[in-house]
Structure 1
Amino acid sequence: MLRHVCSRVASAVIATALPLSVGVVTGAGSGSAVAGEPQPAMTVNSAKSAVPGSRFSGSAQIDGPFATRADAEADGYVDEAKAGWRDLVYHAEAGSDLREGSSWEAGDRYSRMEELKVTSRAMGGREIPVVTIKARNNPESAPTLYLLNGADGGEGEANWLKRTSAVDFYGDRIGDVNVVIPMAGAYSYYTDWQEPTSSLDTDAHGVGTTQKWETFLTQELPSPLEKHLGTTSDRRGIIGLSMSGSTSLVYAEKYPGFYSAVGAYSGCAATSGEFSRATQIVLNRGDATFNQMWGDPDGTVALENDALANADRLADQHNIYVSSATGLLGEHDVTSGDVLDGRAYEMITPLTDGFAIEAGSNVCTHLLKSATDAHGITEASNNLVYNIRETGTHQWAYWQDDMWESWPVIAAGLGLDVDEARTDAAAARTEYLQANPGRGAEGSTPVSSLPSFFDAVEQAFS
């Protein structure tokens, strides 16, 4: 009964948030993973059948990196309108980079960043852009961290590169980890779909078959990609946010031991049954249906991909960080803060969309915590850390906070020094706030912006 009521609340809350906006954005343990390809866990809850026994096995083909942005654009495998992330991979202007000890021309790629074209056999030869940030220190032994984008798969302006300081944080301040970011997969939940969808299945060349993102990310990509990076480490982590927050948890449940650390920021662990109504809201934006993705919302495949229904499987996973907030306006949502910097009219998105979606995420996260607590999966036993904030909306500024706040948990799984991780995370946050202090009391009530603010509020709630 509780599950039914809460799912209706979550569905209703998230439904009010369409169209899903990226919101206001910012500027620029123990247990190691096993090497090779993971094997799916075959033990399931008594209420469910076993996962499908046959899985595609094979290695993805990796081409690149592209030497220049012009080379990447000439290939044409990515729609240029969906490649805004290239702004962070290639130099915008000619100059001299003292840190690299070299010079470059406009359009050359940064020395430790790559755009790779990766061909998935499971998806019929579809070519997928993958961005990497190579470790600065000891790359031959550095662990690998996979970052999944949210609902638009990084194909718009909302992605790790453009909306957080991930490049500086992982690449420069940390320097001991390889980072991998797939830049496709909009509205896919990064799962294996049951049926084709004309809107989501192909690359810019029109090549591709039914989406098999789980197979690609867990079976095809890791081995050749980590070999390309040159690392011998068998430790890897994965972090998802919003849509992919549930995905990272599902992967951890299905492939125990494959990931040494897992992060889930503002996701909804529950996706099947009554919660399928909320899942469908995301799929609507991709002109797709729940049945195309997982079939019957109460069927075997749907249940196998529901992280809440399989919460007991997290008993085999260590170093997990899960976050959400209430949806109430927080430090990054107000005019005096670091993001809005006095622009009152821009409060509308976090006040409406950002509130509703995060409130739904909060319901899901509390349900997940109840489930893991009931199964004895805790911080003491598994280094499972929940960060449930009293304030905060569904937007990238809070996920950048999560990037820092989760780092000690992620670092523990990746075999890095946890005390040093805490120090680095605190320093990164301090540095960010010094560079983005906001206006304080001076910007809390900018009178010139209030007319447009109230007009926008009236329109939003009319």
Structure 2
Amino acid sequence: MSRHGTLRRRTAGALVAALLAGAVLPVPGAGATPRADATADDGAWVVRETRIDARTIDLEIRSPALGITPGLVRLLTPQGWSKGDGRTWPVLYLLHGCCDIADYKAWTEYTDVEQFTEDKPALIVMPTAGRIGMYSDWWNFGLYGSPSWATFHMTEVRQILERGYGAGTRRAIAGLSMGAYGAMEYASRYPGMFGAAAAYSGAIDVLAPGIPEVTQANLVAQGFPLWGGLWGDPLLQRARWEDHNPALKVDSLRGTQLYVSCGNGVPGPLDTGLIPPAVGALIESNALVNTLLFVDRLRARNIPATIDLYGAGTHTWPYWQFALHRSWPVLASGMGI
């Protein structure tokens, strides 16, 4: 299917979802006892499982880490996968970006990931991270508590999938924009968790000039007006910002196969108008500056990475589909496939 064809799938996908509404499986309902083989250590469990099509399954998780926020995950299962058969599979986590209403569905809404991975022997995991969760356990002005996105992803989702959905321990992670930050943040925070990590068009160095202000502006735009709820004030709580900055933790990435890509903001052959050209150009050109800072830190520490600065391209989905395809050999190697 062409790239433009995959974008047209959104409307068809909505029809399919409606037709399959009766395929919701009430994995145990309200008041039922959670399945022991699909429950995380902190009690997180699957309250609803919805089969969208032959390969696609959506999970709704009751998550202590997220509180009242539903923990939503979309899975693409590999050929030969069968729930509960005892077989395990390599796992690729695909992370979405900021402010996209498609959220955990975005990769399947806007790219050909379903077709591209059809013959790949890996379980593809696409979890929600909120509109701007920043793949972090929030500080909440010293109160902590929910949302704790890192705990949700790296403990609750991981344990549930390993115990009930055939997820193995050979893992890779990739993401775009905010998800690019998330991929490198998780890979550096949990050394050895992932065999490979890929970042597409990301602002990975969160203490680079202007990035704290942009982060706060995005938080305000998404309904979080108070400065500091995420990691605190970047000056008064600088140590916390540094702790969440992969660019300052690159030594933790040593031994993980890395792929870092970005365009330069000049409209290129894949631009489709999903994002206004001027906006996509501005965001991508700034992402490139930040990406280069991160790459410089990797090189200064002699940490190997595949760097793909592919030139013309804006901050939009066709380029991230392109980046997923280009990075697949690195991701597959990290998963041992």
**TM-score normalised by L of structure 2:** 0.80
Q: Which amino acid aligns with 2:323?
A: D
Q: Please tell me whether residue 66 in structure 1 is matched to residue 50 in structure 2.
A: yes
1:408 corresponds to: 329
1:218 corresponds to: 154
3-state SS in 1 of match to 2:242: helix
2:127 corresponds to: 182
1:278 corresponds to: 214
**TM-score normalised by L of structure 1:** 0.59
Name the stretch that deviates more: 122-131 or 151-160: 151-160
Q: Distance in 2 between matches of 1:27 and 1:365?
A: 31
Asked whether the equivalents of residues 72 and 104 of structure 2 are also in contact (C-alpha less than 8 Å), the reply is no
2:170 corresponds to: 235
* Cα shift at 1:145: 1.0
* Cα shift at 1:329: 1.1
* Cα shift at 1:168: 1.3
3-state SS in 2 of match to 1:405: helix
Q: Which has the larger radius of gyration?
A: 1
- What is the aligned counterpart of 1:395 among 291, 298, 316? 316
Asked whether the equivalents of residues 144 and 226 of structure 1 are also in contact (C-alpha less than 8 Å), the reply is no
- C-alpha offsets along residues 203-237 of structure 1, whole Å, 9 cap, x if unaligned? xxxxxx63100111112210111222124x31111
2:18 corresponds to: none
Asked whether the equivalents of residues 155 and 183 of structure 1 are also in contact (C-alpha less than 8 Å), the reply is no
2:114 corresponds to: 167
Q: Please tell me whether residue 313 in structure 1 is matched to residue 246 in structure 2.
A: no
Q: Distance in 2 between matches of 1:290 and 1:182?
A: 26
* Cα shift at 1:125: 5.1
- What is the aligned counterpart of 1:252 among 187, 192, 210? 187
1:295 corresponds to: 232
Task: From the superposition, tell whether residues 290 and 386 of structure 1 become closer, same or farther in structure 2 (CA, over 3 Å).
Answer: farther
- C-alpha offsets along residues 58-89 of structure 1, whole Å, 9 cap, x if unaligned? 2521233235xxxxxxxxxxxxxxxxxxxxxx
Q: Distance in 1 between matches of 2:303 and 2:176?
A: 21
Segments of structure 2 that go 5 or more residues without pairing to the other structure are 1-5, 10-39
3-state SS in 2 of match to 1:65: strand
Task: From the superposition, tell whether residues 57 and 212 of structure 1 become closer, same or farther in structure 2 (CA, over 3 Å).
Answer: farther
Asked whether the equivalents of residues 263 and 311 of structure 2 are also in contact (C-alpha less than 8 Å), the reply is yes
- What is the aligned counterpart of 1:149 among 91, 96, 99? 96
- C-alpha offsets along residues 143-173 of structure 1, whole Å, 9 cap, x if unaligned? 0111111112554698101100111111x13
3-state SS in 1 of match to 2:229: helix
Relative CO higher for 1 or 2, CA cutoff 8 Å, sep ≥ 6?
A: 1
Task: From the superposition, tell whether residues 112 and 64 of structure 1 become closer, same or farther in structure 2 (CA, over 3 Å).
Answer: farther
- What is the aligned counterpart of 2:281 among 335, 339, 355? 355
2:307 corresponds to: 386
- What is the aligned counterpart of 1:113 among 56, 59, 82? 56
Task: From the superposition, tell whether residues 135 and 292 of structure 1 become closer, same or farther in structure 2 (CA, over 3 Å).
Answer: same
- C-alpha offsets along residues 366-409 of structure 1, whole Å, 9 cap, x if unaligned? 1111110010102xxxxx21111211000000000011001000
Asked whether the equivalents of residues 238 and 259 of structure 1 are also in contact (C-alpha less than 8 Å), the reply is yes
Q: Which amino acid aligns with 2:59?
A: L
Task: From the superposition, tell whether residues 361 and 273 of structure 1 become closer, same or farther in structure 2 (CA, over 3 Å).
Answer: closer
Q: Distance in 2 between matches of 1:156 and 1:310?
A: 27
Q: Distance in 1 between matches of 2:264 and 2:158?
A: 35
More strand by share: 2
1:450 corresponds to: none
Task: From the superposition, tell whether residues 278 and 293 of structure 1 become closer, same or farther in structure 2 (CA, over 3 Å).
Answer: same
1:81 corresponds to: none
* Cα shift at 1:347: 9.0
Q: Distance in 1 between matches of 2:279 and 2:147?
A: 28
Asked whether the equivalents of residues 187 and 285 of structure 1 are also in contact (C-alpha less than 8 Å), the reply is no
**What RMSD over aligned residues (CA atoms) do the two structures have, in Å?**
2.5
Asked whether the equivalents of residues 103 and 129 of structure 2 are also in contact (C-alpha less than 8 Å), the reply is no
* Cα shift at 1:122: 2.0
* Cα shift at 1:113: 1.4
3-state SS in 2 of match to 1:173: coil
